[in-house]
Amino acid sequence: MASASPRPSHRRSLRGRRTLVVSAAAVAAAVGAGVLVMNASANPVDLYHQVLPAKDGWAASGSGTTGGTKADAAHTFTVSTRAQLVKALGSATDTAPRIIKIKGTIDANTSDSGKKLTCADYAAGTGYTLSAYLKAFDPSTYGKKAPKGTQETARGAAANKQKKNIVFRVPANTTIVGVPGTKAGILGGSLQVQNVKNVIIRNLTFADTKDCFPQWDPTDGSSGEWNSNYDSVTLRGATNVWADHNTFTDAPTFDKTEATHFGRKYQVHDGALDITNGSDLVTVERNQFLNHDKTMLIGSSDTDSTGKLRVTIHHNLWKGIVQRAPLARIGQIHLYNNVYDTTTVNGYAPKYSLDSRAKAQVVAERNVWKIPADAKVAKLLSGDGTGSVAGTGNLVNGKATDVVAAYNAANSKKLKTTANWTPSLTAGLQTTVTSLLTDLTGTTGAGTLS
């Protein structure tokens, strides 16, 4: 794979390698106002110019994933507010390499002047109120048909006002990194990586990406559902994307605190990291996925793009996750060295971890599950009878377990046990995983890079 610059190891030792922090002032002339770390061998690590290492998952394919490493001074930004982030991102059609350093937590629900915005602010002037919406579309009087009319139009208008504020379009050739030690992240916002190539997202906490105006769909399932509209990070038609050392969480607004309307939970959260609409060559590693329901969707439908949706997911920690870790369709997905803790946390009770459907070709190897004593191994997986889950070396509560065999023994729609491809981009694959739960707890997610 071609590379624009040397490829230092992007991960800290799982055994806690000693580091020496060098002040930015001392090295500004060489690398700009960044934060450097020197490891025991004195090799500098510059988070902002780092590229995905060779063979590190599907995103290493082709020319690899280099993000904004070639950015000049005019396209290197440090941002701390929503308005600054919008300016730094610029136009989604501008492909000039750029580096965006996020310092501290950016609240997406703020105005250009920094004023805090609420759901009521977005609804103002549209005519929308939740009480009027509930009255207009109560199934007992309105029936089981898609909402249409004055209140649905008003809801859409209010939703569009929020969307303009909290959705951030990411251009091609961009690196977005949280500045170490600043609790860097985005609260209530959605990064949209759409129809662009070569993007790096690292060391950020994505919290409470909340839709103020969920839509009622009485035709969704047997009882209807409230559907929200924003993922914390969404890839749509994106290619060569590396998501590394981020934390995704609903906190501080847990689903259990939301009301129930029409007999269904008023769901204000959508996906954490969704990979859809023909996205391809993606590596998702060393993230923490916490306190969330529909966590990761690969493939927007059963007819998403054949030949794409190639995704590697490794060394991630999933805890307090209800489902979709991931839900995979169509593509070639490699899951290795992930930890799934299925303990119920903050009301998020697990339904399943991995769902392979629509002929997805999943290879899941050397992952670790921690499950309660009364939990069933057969419920760790899900499928529609067309998807595959191959792979060996998975552990459940420290014991080697054939999780596919357990699922198939309990279900009529069997998972296929062979895949039509063999992973080769497997950098960092650990064959011994007995200590993985402990290792990943302290070395994954935002704030662990320095």
Catalytic residues: 324
**Cα 383 from Cα 389, distance rounded (Å):** 10
Q: Is the bond leading into 326 cis (omega within 30 degrees of zero)?
A: yes
398 to each of 168, 342, 433, 436, how far by Cα in Å? Answer: 41, 14, 9, 10
Instruction: Yes or no: say if 285 and 306 are a contact pair by the CB < 8 Å rule.
Output: no
- Residue 71's contacts (CB-CB under 8 Å, 6 or more residues apart) are 96, 97, 98, 99, 175
Q: How far does the chain reach from its first CA to its final CA, in angstroms?
A: 27
**Cα 224 from Cα 98, distance rounded (Å):** 43
- Residue 413's contacts (CB-CB under 8 Å, 6 or more residues apart) are 383, 384, 385
Identify the three-state secondary structure at position 256: helix
DSSP string, 389-409: EE----EETTEE--HHHHHHH
What single DSSP character describes residue 30?
Answer: H
Of 81, 255, 104, nearest in space to 181 by CA: 104
DSSP string, 95-163: -S-EEEEE-SEEESSB-TT--B--HHHHHTTTT--HHHHHHHT-HHHH-SS---SHHHHHHHHHHHHHH
198 to each of 172, 175, 192, 247, 420, how far by Cα in Å? Answer: 6, 9, 13, 21, 27
Q: Phi and psi for 56 in degrees, rounded to 5? A: -90, 75
Q: Phi and psi for 278 in degrees, rounded to 5? A: 75, 20
Instruction: Yes or no: say if 309 and 299 are a contact pair by the CB < 8 Å rule.
Output: yes
What is the largest distance, in Å, between two alpha-carbon atoms of the chain?
71
355 to each of 310, 326, 328, 330, 382, how far by Cα in Å? Answer: 16, 6, 6, 12, 4
Q: Sign of the CA dihedral 119, 191, 325, 331?
A: positive
